[in-house]
Copies of this chain bind each other. A is one copy, B any other.
Amino acid sequence: MTTIETRIKQKKAEISANGNDRNSEANQAMKALVYHSPGNKSWEEKPKPQLVKPTDAIVKISKTTICGTDLHIMKGDVPTVTDGRIIGHEGVGVIEEVGSAVSNFKKSDHVIISCITSCGKCDYCKKGMYSHCTDGGWILGNLIDGTQAEYVRIPHADNSLYPIPAGSDEEALVMLSDILPTGFECGVLNGQVKPGDIIAIIGAGPVGLATLLTAQFYTPAEIIMIDVDDSRLAVAKTFGATQTINSNDGKAVEKLMKFTNEKGVDVAIEAVGIPATFELCQAIIGAGGHIANIGVHGKSVTLHLETLWSKNITITTRLVDTVTTPMLLKTVQSKKIAPKKLITHHYKLDEIIKAYETFGNAAKEKALKVILTNE
């Protein structure tokens, strides 16, 4: 049995062990978005979640959003998600109840929900690699029920929730659940962006744009945004891109190399997840440069070691750890970054099916992030 299969079994066992408690409150129901099978989801009634472990918290969702990964789930691309699962791994809300071992939070606290659950006490968590937490990682809306619902159970609440300072704009902070730390950690930090650098970001979707916003923390000289959609590139310009290239004409490499006097870029960030864009990163990277992969890849790619072996480059991969959430929160609070720019559409939570349609037609709808409010 693989590790992931073991973990699915374990998660199910944990929850059913508390079945009696749940039945006793069976009259408490809520609405949630449920995955059934590829292409088949519904907004339906589900039992309100209960505390399972003393380290859990129950959070009433205020606002949530939809991730590109959720679209993959809905197509059936994520085999760990099975029939009946409530989807969603982003959101902010209010604490409804905490387990006896939770000490950082109490009922009524406003919180950001991290897409990554972290126990804080395994070897990986101690190294700041929460994404590989042996009792957490990306489990919300994957191995356990998620945030596209009126309520959600958050395991290891002390390490997986973050307090929202009084007077904050909740909408902006939904961007801290996943997309900002993903762009920042996998793209900007792994890419080692420095003042004066020339960096290229391949892909101007929500994650690429989050990377663009957070790359500016380190004041690169040039941020070149590459995409095949002119309207996204126009958005990138307003977000701080100094150059944009539409790669549809097959001349992106040529343009980039000319722009850099044939030296190539200092940092190339892949925010798409297909072989062609990773290929592009290899073609434009300068000697001593960094290729930071953010994209979720479904296929292997060709690595040109026949030329890269002597080019002193670094390639990184990363599932977001959300270890920088406190740092990012400070930058939002001090208005150094305006993540709200990423939000293009608003719906009520019970209009989520419609919201999925909008987000699923992102190019046509000019959609980036869609906010769902639980009123």
A residues bordering B, Cβ < 8 Å? Answer: 3, 53-55, 100-101, 103-104, 119-129, 131-132, 135, 158-159, 194-197, 216-219, 221-222, 242, 262, 273, 278, 287-288, 293, 295-306, 308-319, 321, 323, 326-331, 333-334, 336-337
Given contacts A100-B101, A319-B312, A159 and B196 within 8 Å (CB-CB): no
A131 touches B194 (CB 8 A): no
Would you call A121 and B159 a contact (CB within 8 A)? Answer: yes
Residues on B with C-beta less than 8 A from A126 are 120, 128, 159, 323, 326
A302's contact among B123, B278, B300, B333, by CB below 8 Å, is which?
Answer: B300
Docked-complex contact A300 and B310, CB < 8 angstroms: no
Please, which residue of chain B has its CB at the minimum distance from the CB of A123? B326
In the complex, residue of chain B having the shortest beta-carbon distance to the beta carbon of A137:
B310
Known: A333-B221, A334-B222. A101 touches B54 (CB 8 A): yes
User: What is the oligomeric copy number?
Assistant: 4
What are 5 A-B residue pairs whose CB atoms fall within 8 Å in the complex? Answer: A131-B312, A132-B287, A273-B309, A299-B306, A301-B303
A318 to B309, CA, bound (A): 6
Task: Using A296-B309, A315-B315 as known contacts, list a sample of 6 further A-B pairs with CB atoms less than 8 Å apart, ordered by residue number in A.
Answer: A54-B54, A120-B126, A129-B288, A219-B337, A297-B309, A310-B318
Of A3, A273, A293, most buried by chain B (CB within 10 Å of CB) is: A293
Are the C-beta atoms of A313 and B317 separated by less than 8 Å? yes
How far is A101 from B51 in the complex, measured between Cα atoms in Å?
13
* Chain B residues whose CB sits within 8 angstroms of the CB of A316 once the complex forms: 312-315
* Residues in B neighbouring A337, C-beta threshold 8 A: 219
Asked whether, in the complex, the Cβ of A298 is within 8 Å of the Cβ of B287, the reply is no
Q: Say how far A179's CB is from chain B's closest CB, in angstroms.
A: 16
Q: B103 and A100: CB pair below 8 A?
A: no
Report the nearest B residue to A223, measured CB to CB: B334
Considering the complex of A and B, which 8 residue pairs feature the smallest CB-CB distances, nearest first? A196-B330, A101-B101, A221-B334, A297-B305, A310-B319, A303-B303, A120-B120, A121-B158
Q: Assuming A159-B120, A196-B328, is B302 touching A302 (CB within 8 A)?
A: yes
Question: In the assembled complex, which residues on chain B have CB atoms less than 8 Å from the CB atom of A303?
Answer: 278, 300-303, 315
Contact A132 B312 (CB under 8 A): yes
User: Do A194 and B327 touch across chains, with their CB atoms under 8 A apart?
Assistant: yes
Q: How far is the CA of A257 from the CA of B55 in the complex (A)?
A: 33
Q: Is the CB of B302 within 8 A of A297?
A: no
Q: Is A219 within 8 A of B317, CB to CB? A: no
Among B129, B195, B278, B326, the residue within 8 A (CB) of A336 is: B195
- In Å, the complex CA distance between A54 and B56 comes to 13
Most buried by B among A216, A222, A312: A312
- Residues of chain B with a CB closer than 8 A to A101's CB: 53-55, 100-101
